[in-house]
Structure 1
Amino acid sequence: MIVAPLTDFGTYLKLHPLFERVEQALITLDFSNPGEKIYIENDKLIAIPSFNKGRNTGEALLESHDRYIDIQICLQGEETFGWADRQTCSSIVKPYNQEKDITFYNDEPSTYFTLKPNQFAIFFPNDCHAPLIGSGLIKKVVFKVKVESNLHNF
């Protein structure tokens, strides 16, 4: 997992060939339609704007993804995340859904952190994360970056 201000995103461009496209999309795309999937590179890079009311810690389940890296960028409000190393999560609530690339867990996060506007978090397949913890409206964009076969060992 990586957490940093958006101004530092360029530091991480070499972690994945499509991260540069994410940086370009942040400058050129409109994220004002929540729930709309914006296909930037077919299914290899997708942006999904999200406008949601924050929820309490008990409502936020840990989740993990096998095929995609999540880059979650806070646009407005404050969003707290729970985090746990996937290897420590064993209490599966909803088994892996291949279509949605998601598994849900009932394990407790080992830590929490909060993103403010213009900050981001990158979650790799070994990161379980519980998003949307907070109060009020949280506006964000989630970039789904497909993991390439030679990049599985994050």
Structure 2
Amino acid sequence: MIVGSMEHWASRRKFAHPVLRKAIDYLAKTDLGMLEVGKYPIWGGDMFALVMEIKTKGIADQPAEKHENFLDIHYLLQGKETIGWKMQDDNCKPCQSYNPEEDFALFAGLEEESLVKLKPGMFMVLFPEDIHRPGLTEAASSDVRKVVVKINRNLF
């Protein structure tokens, strides 16, 4: 898992893998405020952006997820979002088995889950071993506009 901010991207991009650079450069250079909710190709079916508008939920109402084939980059445009994170270990058992067509398994309770608060302009890179619970709120539900870039792990 990597957490960063577009405010620092120009000075830190040289340290990123070229595939991550391509994805985060897309986020930095695209006028995302003009895009409708939907899917936008970046590199065919191997890298694409999902523009979303969601309502945040409490931790008990939002299952955690894990992917096998795609990395996620969650980039917050508007609102406040907390994302739960835990590296997979032997104690993490899915409540819904892995679905290969949708590339996810779901998890309920996670011991020692870390909560990362994102503000607009921040991004979080999640690798296949990262179990994550996006769309969380710490107080009342709020409206969030975000982009999730999906990257096929075979690009690395």
Residue 70 of structure 1: how far off its partner (Å):
0.5
Letter of the structure 2 residue corresponding to residue 121 of structure 1:
M
Letter of the structure 2 residue corresponding to residue 132 of structure 1:
G
Q: What secondary structure is seen at the aligned counterpart in 1 of 2:120?
A: coil
Distance, in Å, in 2 between the alignment partners of 1:76 and 1:30 is 11
* Contact kept? 1:89, 1:107, Cα under 8 Å: no
Letter of the structure 2 residue corresponding to residue 4 of structure 1:
G
Mind listing any 5+ residue stretches in structure 2 that lack a counterpart?
none
Distance, in Å, in 2 between the alignment partners of 1:67 and 1:12 is 24
Q: What residue number does 1:25 align with?
A: 26
Q: What residue number does 1:132 align with?
A: 135
Letter of the structure 1 residue corresponding to residue 60 of structure 2:
G
Distance, in Å, in 1 between the alignment partners of 2:107 and 2:63 is 6
Cα RMSD after superposing both structures? 1.9
Letter of the structure 1 residue corresponding to residue 20 of structure 2:
F
Superposition misfits of 4+ residues, deviation over 4 angstroms: 12-15
- After TM superposition, the structure 1 = structure 2 runs for residues 4-153 of structure 1, keeping only pairs within 5 Å, are 4-10=4-10, 11-12=12-13, 15-26=16-27, 27-28=29-30, 30=32, 32-34=35-37, 36-108=38-110, 110-134=113-137, 135-148=141-154, 151=156
Indicate the percent of aligned positions where both proteins have the same amino acid. Answer: 27
- Aligned length, in residue pairs: 149
Mind listing any 5+ residue stretches in structure 1 that lack a counterpart?
none
